[in-house]
Every structure is written in structure tokens, then in C-alpha cells.
Copies of this chain bind each other. A is one copy, B any other.
Amino acid sequence: MLKKRNVMTIGTLAKTAGVGVETVRYYQRRGLMSEPEKPYGGIRHYDEQALARLHFIRASQWLGFSLDEIGELLTLQDGAHCDEARELGEQKLTSVRRKISRLQQVERALNELVQKCSSGHGDVYCPLMASLNDGVEDATTDKHKVR
């Protein structure tokens, strides 16, 4: 082994990871990736570690972690902080579950409204609109606070 590190420019790195060059630079500004030293006069080069870091970031994002949270995860990188990492994971899991059940409520309400519209009616009015007008049955006591 001892294969020579396969070296990339930022463009190649970005393409390989499926993100834009600007995105990589943005992660560097956010402190999620380091900027390699640039050799006299020119272009920085990146290795598989940089690529792995990018994969880590995207995987974490896919799980719903924000870039700030990913920064936190990255400080736990050495494996000695498994408990903290699990804690973060559990919090995220909870928030994902909340989102799911909220969306399921929305699904039920919306489905019902659409059904009512489809099943022919007096024509003079629209059940969906009517419901919107008086607040949609089912905002199950968490009125307001949409965001």
C-alpha cells in the first residue's frame, strides 16, 4: 500500500462530492472545513480527508442536522464522545418525530378537504375554501405559530 494521496483541486473535490465550489468555500468560511495551505503562488489541493469531511457534512444534513449542529458533531470526531453524539442524535430523532406527526395531521386535514371537493357538491360554494375561511377544523389546539 502506501499509495500516493490522490490530490484534487477544489473543483474536482466539489464535483466528486456533488456540491458546488461555492458551497465548499462556504463551509470553509463556516469553519466546517479547513483551507489547505496554498503552495507558492497558487492553487490549493485537497485529499480524501477533505472528501470524507464533505460526505460527513452531507450525511449529517440528510439526517436533519443544521450546519451549526454539524460543527458541534465535528468536535466529537475522535470517538471518545460517543455519549454526547448519541445525545444529539436522540434530540434530532425527537424533533424528526415531532415533524412527522405534525405533517400527518396536516395530511389528514388536507386529504379530507380535497375529498370533500371531489365528491360533487352544491357548486355554489367550495368546501376547501369554506374550511379555510373558518379556520380548518383540526388545528388541534396549537392555533397560530405556524413557523
Contact surface of A with B, Cβ cutoff 8 Å: 17-19, 52, 55-56, 58-64, 73, 76-77, 79, 81-83, 85-86, 89-90, 92-93, 96-97, 99-100, 103-104, 106-107, 109-111, 113-114, 117-118, 121, 123-129, 131-136, 139, 143-144, 146
- Knowing that A79-B126, A90-B114 are A-B contacts, what are 17 other residue pairs whose CB atoms are under 8 Å apart, sorted by A's residue number? A18-B144, A52-B133, A52-B134, A56-B132, A59-B131, A62-B106, A63-B136, A64-B110, A81-B126, A82-B129, A85-B128, A86-B118, A86-B126, A89-B110, A89-B114, A89-B128, A96-B103
Copies, count: 2
**Which of B17, B55, B89, B135 makes the CB contact (< 8 A) with A59?**
B135
Q: Which of A59, A90, A139, A146 has the most CB of B within 10 A?
A: A59
Residues of chain B within 8 A (CB-CB) of A79 are 124-126, 129
B100:A107 contact, CB within 8 angstroms: yes
List 3 tightest A-B contacts by C-beta distance, closest first.
A82-B126, A18-B144, A86-B117
